[in-house]
Amino acid sequence: MNRVVHPIEEESYRRLRARLDTSHFPPLTRAVVERVIHSAADLDYATDLVMDEGALEKAHAALHAGAPVVVDVEMVAAGITRRETVCRLRDAVAGPGLTRSAHAIRLAHEQVGPGALWVIGNAPTALEELLTLDAAPALVIGLPVGFVGAVESKAALRESGLPAVSNVSEKGGSAVASAALNALLYHPLSHPDSHSDSHSDSHSDSHSEEKS
């Protein structure tokens, strides 16, 4: 994907890298971490995020081959401006033992089937519900935020063995979840040299699977 990077974004990345050395991360990991940090102005994500470069490579290929992208809330969808997304929250209803967010995940799964990229930035119950389904995802970006259930749902995601981007702390949210997806979306399909300072956004990913 070719995109023109605004000078303010260029300067933001320059300042980010002046404060944090991300050059040792593999290309897609670096892309995700840098873009998440850029979205939140929070350098702590460099040690909070958890991901695997090999899983990101497969997800990147699936994304650029047209795999569906499912989001838990419209705020995540709003942050993903260059790709259509599926969000079924408006159609969902809460029931006994089932939140509206969880029901929306069920509906989305029925719609898209296996091989999608799932981007969850708001509701821990959405992530918990996804883990009960036979979704066979290309990737789960599980970054729900909050003091109730967020840490536990992200730990369960890592324990599931699914290809994932998660973080260890309570932090997260719609902006960082969409940023993680955008990092893969903006990253070039072929990257002969991963550390270009150019407009490719190959400097958005910066964290590997260090914690479990």
- Active-site amino acid positions: 38
Torsion angle in degrees (nearest 10) through CA of 1, 171, 125, 207: 50
Strands, sheet with 117-120, edge to edge from the N-terminal-most edge strand: 49-50, 164-167, 139-142, 117-120, 69-71
Neighbours of 52 (CB within 10 A): 17
Q: How far apart are CA 70 and CA 75, in angstroms?
A: 12
- Tell me the two tokens of residue 137: 């995802």
In the chain, count of helices (H) and strands (E)? 9, 5
